[in-house]
Amino acid sequence: MCGIVGYTGPRECVPILLEGLRRLEYRGYDSAGIAVVNGDGLTVLKDAGKIDQLQDLVDKDPPTGHHGIAHTRWATHGEPNQINAHPHTDTRGHFAVVHNGIIENCDSLRETLKAKGYEFVSDTDTEVLAHLIQEYWDGSLEKAVASALRLVTGAYGIAVISDLAPGIIVGARKGSPLLVGVGDGEFFVASDVSAILAHTRHVVYLGDEEMAILSPQGYRTQTLNEIPVNREIQEVTWELDQIEKGGFPHFMLKEIHEQPKAIRNAIRGRLVDDQAEARLGGLNLAGDELRRFDRIILTACGTSWHAAMIGEYMLEEYLRVPVEVEYASEFRYRSPVLDSRSLVIVLSQSGETADTLAAVKEAKRRGARVLGICNVVGSSIARETDGGVYIHAGPEIGVASTKAFTGQVAVLALLTMYLGRWRGLSDEVARELIAGLRAIPEQMERILADGPAIAEIAQLYAKHDNFLYLGRGFNFPVALEGALKLKEISYIHAEGYPAAEMKHGPIALIDENMPVVFLCTRDKAYEKVLSNMAEVRARRGRIIAVATEDDATIASRADHVIRIPHTLDPLVPLLSVVPLQLLAYHIAVARGCHVDQPRNLAKSVTVE
């Protein structure tokens, strides 16, 4: 949730750290800080608020030095104020620590340290680490950090510096991501590759309970018990312009517009036309194993959970295998019934969501095979699962997920085809799906060209306080997703429902002040959804309908109609969600909201 960046090398570190923080700001943005070592000792500057506030502080009296760490925070323990901002230091001010994650036993550690005379100034769990490192200091920073971490339960990605160990950064991780950036005579530590991509694309991902010791001369990786670990240097394939706005006012709008490309990337090289099947290399499942599964469980959080629901509908329709969808946060604690005949598929854009990662571990513990559908290459979930499929949507910076959602749905369609071939899916149906998927990018481009019309509708409704989103079948998860998008970035209360459920309760809310977004595409449920629309109209609700291009009936039934091209029912979500993303975006902009960094949220939720 928070972001970490550190630098050691020949250059002035402060500009590098601040630039890194700006690239990480989407990860957490309620306070930020920086620690730098130079000949005068350790300097820490930090404040509540965004990076701009930290920049102001730095500009007043810029610290110099070639060795530093920095952090942007999403508060867990303690409110977001100056004192709780990272870095945290020990009582004597020699050790500075930045930390992502949660130290679960911080209360008992704090009491023990207080009894020894350590004074605490913040409400954070992180501060215990700074004091523990002081407690264990005997001339070696790596040993002090390792000793401190051996006492910690919980999750951490940390970076530590000290004026007693010039040039050295010690990084370590368990549960929260951390990587080393390998430059030319300079080294970086970061929670996310985007922080350092401007300087190097060579990275080493640390494993759980591993440490990295960096100096201007090189780096080493080892376990907390000082056993050397040889981790391969990987080359990042992302380009810098992929993590920049590229002329768009917000990352979210850029990423909405990147969806045609994201779908092309997700399906590239994976559709085999002449054999009418999908080719997915990373599943690590043999054909006889695929036939053995008698149940599929999809688990995820938030937007990824909505994609999972669409996956449930697809897989059941084409595979005729029972499929369940579970919130990852519930799955872990619900004692799920799983065995070796269960296939668990987890979905996560970031690959770092703590609840989803915990679900992976729980499913493996109970003997299930676990596949992952992730966007971030090398992420924790990608590494913990038995196999999986990357969606290749490219970096998603906007906190509100857009292109990762449609990428996940496209991959679920591929997976349906892949698994279907082992379970009797006919050539004819597979060919239809292939043709449908291939057409999606161009169809999305046509919807995106309609952006200005959607922006006009958004202007009309930007002052409303409540919205309902209704859809049936494959469009029901899209209704949920549309409502979530609006809530997240505009702070308008919005709910998604299966359209027919409306009359079992939510209909009481309908009056002339309630905008209702109907997903009313020409599919199996079309006529029924028209009836649900009539029920809203009869109560003077305002209707925005997402409908199919050639639908001549709809104009007389709705106040506003947004048209999308025709596609197969299971692929409709790939198109019908796009106008809802744009609607949410333009409403949020009209309300003056901070679209890319909505309040209280962070891009990847690495705490439970």
Pick from 51, 103, 400, 510: which binds ligand AGP (CB under 6 A)? 400
Pick from 4, 13, 605, 607: which binds ligand AGP (CB under 6 A)? 605
Distant-in-sequence, close-in-space partners of 592: CB < 8 Å, separation ≥ 6: none
Does 176 help bind ligand AGP (rule: CB under 6 A)? Answer: no
Q: Are 379 and 351 in contact (CB under 8 A)?
A: yes
The burial class, CB within 10 Å (0-12 / 13-18 / 19+), for 521 is buried
Taking the complex as a whole, the smallest distance from the CB of residue 258 to ligand AGP amounts, in Å, to 15
Give the DSSP letter string of 194-229: GGTTTT-SEEEEPPTTEEEEEETTEEEEEETT--B-
By C-beta, is 98 or 300 nearer to ligand AGP? 300
Does 259 help bind ligand AGP (rule: CB under 6 A)? Answer: no
Under DSSP, the state recorded for 597 is S
Taking the complex as a whole, the smallest distance from the CB of residue 580 to ligand AGP amounts, in Å, to 12
Closest CA to 183 of 202, 170, 158, 209: 202
Residue among 2, 301, 374, 593 flagged as catalytic? 2
H/E element, 59: helix 51-60
| Pairing between β-strand 179-182 and β-strand 187-190 as defined by DSSP bridges | antiparallel
Under DSSP, the state recorded for 175 is B
By C-beta, is 72 or 303 nearer to ligand AGP? 303
Taking the complex as a whole, the smallest distance from the CB of residue 605 to ligand AGP amounts, in Å, to 5
Site string for ligand AGP, 331-350 (x = CB under 6 A): -----------------xxx
Q: How many residues bind ligand AGP (CB under 6 A)?
A: 16
Does 28 help bind ligand AGP (rule: CB under 6 A)? Answer: no
Does 194 help bind ligand AGP (rule: CB under 6 A)? Answer: no
Taking the complex as a whole, the smallest distance from the CB of residue 372 to ligand AGP amounts, in Å, to 10
By C-beta, is 590 or 601 nearer to ligand AGP? 601
User: What part of residues 288-327 is at the interface with ligand AGP (CB under 6 A)?
Assistant: 301-304
By C-beta, is 43 or 349 nearer to ligand AGP? 349
By C-beta, is 372 or 570 nearer to ligand AGP? 372
| Cα distance between residue 216 and residue 470, in whole Å | 57
Quick one: residue 214, left, alpha or beta (phi over 0 = left, psi -120 to 50 = alpha)? beta
Which one of the spans 104-112, 144-152, 398-406, 545-553 is the region binding ligand AGP (CB under 6 A)? 398-406
Helix (H, G, I), strand (E, B) or coil at 62: coil
Does 126 help bind ligand AGP (rule: CB under 6 A)? Answer: no
Does 399 help bind ligand AGP (rule: CB under 6 A)? Answer: yes
By C-beta, is 131 or 254 nearer to ligand AGP? 254
Residue among 50, 403, 487, 603 flagged as catalytic? 603
Estimate the crossing angle of helix 427-448 against helix 572-590, to 10 degrees: 20
Q: Which residue's beta carbon is nearest to the bound ligand AGP?
A: 302
- β-bridge mates for residue 377, sequence order: none
Taking the complex as a whole, the smallest distance from the CB of residue 408 to ligand AGP amounts, in Å, to 8
By C-beta, is 6 or 311 nearer to ligand AGP? 311
Measured between its terminal Cα atoms, the distance across the chain in Å is 11
Which one of the spans 182-190, 226-234, 241-249, 600-608 is the region binding ligand AGP (CB under 6 A)? 600-608
Helix (H, G, I), strand (E, B) or coil at 274: coil
Tokens describing residue 593: 């909201």
Pick from 25, 326, 488, 596: which binds ligand AGP (CB under 6 A)? 488
Give the CA distances from residue 354 to residues 12, 100, 101, 203, 303, in Å, rounded to whole numbers and listed in that order.
35, 12, 9, 23, 15
Does 606 help bind ligand AGP (rule: CB under 6 A)? Answer: no
Pick from 124, 329, 604, 606: which binds ligand AGP (CB under 6 A)? 604
Quick one: residue 65, left, alpha or beta (phi over 0 = left, psi -120 to 50 = alpha)? left
Taking the complex as a whole, the smallest distance from the CB of residue 307 to ligand AGP amounts, in Å, to 8
By C-beta, is 403 or 560 nearer to ligand AGP? 403
Closest CA to 346 of 394, 315, 388: 388
Whether residue 603 lies in the annotated active site: yes
Whether residue 2 lies in the annotated active site: yes
Tokens describing residue 346: 């987890």
Quick one: residue 592, left, alpha or beta (phi over 0 = left, psi -120 to 50 = alpha)? left
User: What part of residues 351-380 is at the interface with ligand AGP (CB under 6 A)?
Assistant: 353, 356
**Contact residues: ligand AGP, CB under 6 A:** 301-304, 348-350, 353, 356, 399-401, 488, 601, 604-605
Q: Which residues are catalytic?
A: 2, 603
